[in-house]
Amino acid sequence: MSRASGPRSGDAIFASVERVNAELFTLTYGAIVRQLLTDLEEVEEVNKQLDQMGYNIGIRLIDEFLAKSNVSRCVDFKETADMIAKVGFKMFLGVTASVTNWDADGTCCSIVLEDNPLVDFVELPDTCQGLYYCNILSGVIRGALEMVSMKTEVTWTRDMLRGDDAFELQVKLLKQVPEEYPYKDDD
């Protein structure tokens, strides 16, 4: 884990990756959500499902992420959160997020998204109150962090679709399973 080649900035990677039309992307995601709503009928179920899908994305995405943005191993949760916000979001979503609201023992913080391409045009109808439209994101983060052995709990604390002024994801570190390096030294 050498910091020889420092992590590339999210923008650099974002610039390099191929793009897809934002609206197409947005609508595709919208279609997924809509379908889930029709299939599972209950908003709660949809939230779960989205989160699950996100998780499945996350556990794959993390490798891609680490490969593309050769970030070095983060020493602590703080750094990890920053990395997600600054590099991760930029790289995959094209937006930068900020990390705030650290609690005392640095196990819980909020990732704040000013804008969010997922929710263009979206407006929650009365029937879908309680839907966390972007719940897939929380899933992604959870999944990705789990792959780097951080058990986290990601919840939405602010949601523009519910009239808040930004999107805020609260990431709470439940427990960190340290990777151990089994070696013996006997003399």
Partner 1 sequence: MDPARTPLGRMLLDEITPVVMVLRTPLVEEACGKNGLSFVEMLSPFCSFSNIDVPVRTASDQPYRLQKFKLRLFYSSDIRQPDVQVANERLKDVITQAGEKDLSNLSSELPQVDELLSSSESDIMPSWFQFFNKELIRTMSFSDHEAFDHPVACLLVVSSKDEQPINRFVDLFNSDQLPSLLNDGAMDPKILKLYLIVHDNQDGAPEKAKKFHNEMRSTFGSNSSQLLCINSSQGGLVEHLQNPWAPFKTDASPTQRLGGFLNIDDFNEIKKLTQDLASKHVIPYMEEKVRVLNQQVSATRKGFKNQIKNLWWRKGKEDTPDASNGPVYTFSSIESQIRVLGDYAFMLRDYELALSNYRLISTDYKLDKAWKRYAGVQEMMGLTFFMLDQSRKEAEYCMENAFNTYLKTGPTGQQNATRSGLWWVEMLKTRDQFKEAAGVYFRISGEEPLHSAVMLEQASYCYLLSKPPMLRKFGFHLILSGNQYKKSDQIKHAIRTYRRSISVLKGTTWSYIQDHVHFHIGQWYSFLGLYDSAVSHLLEVLSCGHQSKTTQEFFLKIFLQTVQKTGKACQVMRLPLPVINSSSLKVVFEDHRTYASPAATGVRESLWQSLEEEIVPSLPAARANWLEVQSNFTSKPNKNSNMCIVGEAIKVAIEFQNPLQISIPLSDVSLMCELCARSDDADSEANSLTAELQNDEATMLTTDRFLNSDMSSFALSNVELTLEGGGRKMVQLTVTPRVEGTLKIVGVKWKFSSSVVGFHNFVTGSVKKIQKGGKKNKQSPADSLKFDVVKTVPRLEGFIQSLPEKVYAGELQQLTLELNNKSHLSVKNLKMKISHPRYLNIGNQRNLNMDYPACLEKKTNSAEKTILEPHTINAPRNVFLFPEDTVVQGDTSFLWPLWLHAAAPGKVSLYIILYYEIENPESFMKYRTLRMLYNLEIFPSLDVSFQISACPSTLEEFLVRMDIANKTSTRNFQIHQLSSIGYQWEISLLQPTDSIYASPTLMSGQAFSCYLILKKSKRLDRAEANGSPVCSLTVSDIQLSTEGAGGKMYDSSLSPVKDFHNVERLQHGKSLEGDSNMVDFVLIYWPLDSETDPGVSDRPSLFSHHECHCSVASTSPISWVVEGPRLIHHDFSTSFCEVTLKMALYNSADAAASVRINTLDLSRNGDAQSRDESTLASGKQAGWYNVSLDSEIKVTSDVSGIQMKPLSSDSASPFVWTGSSSTKVRLPPLSTLGIPLQICVFSPGTYDLSNYILQWSLVLPDDQGNHGETRPSSGTCQGYSYFLTVLQST
Partner 2 sequence: MATTACFIIVSRNDIPIYEAEVGSAVKREDVAHLHQFILHAAQDIVQDLAWTTSAMFLKAIDRFNDLVVSVYVTAGHTRLMLLHDSRNDDGIKSFFQEVHELYIKIILNPLYLPGSRITSSHFDTKVRALARKYL
CA distance 148 to 155: 19
185 binds partner 1 (CB under 8 A): yes
Smallest separation, CB 117 to partner 2 (Å) = 13
Smallest separation, CB 36 to partner 2 (Å) = 11
Smallest separation, CB 44 to partner 1 (Å) = 11
184 binds partner 1 (CB under 8 A): yes
105 binds partner 1 (CB under 8 A): no
Q: What are the residues whose beta carbons fall under 8 Å from the beta carbon of 31, sequence distance 6 or more?
A: none
Considering only residues 112 to 171 of the shown chain, the ones binding partner 2 according to CB under 8 A are 120-126, 128, 133
CA distance 30 to 133: 9
CA distance 3 to 71: 8
Total residues contacting partner 1 by CB under 8 A comes to 8
CA distance 58 to 46: 18
107: three-class secondary structure by DSSP: coil
Please pick, from the candidates 7, 9, 25, 37, the single residue that binds partner 2 as defined by CB under 8 A.
Answer: 37
Point out which residues bind partner 2 (CB under 8 A): 23, 27, 29-31, 33-34, 37, 120-126, 128, 133
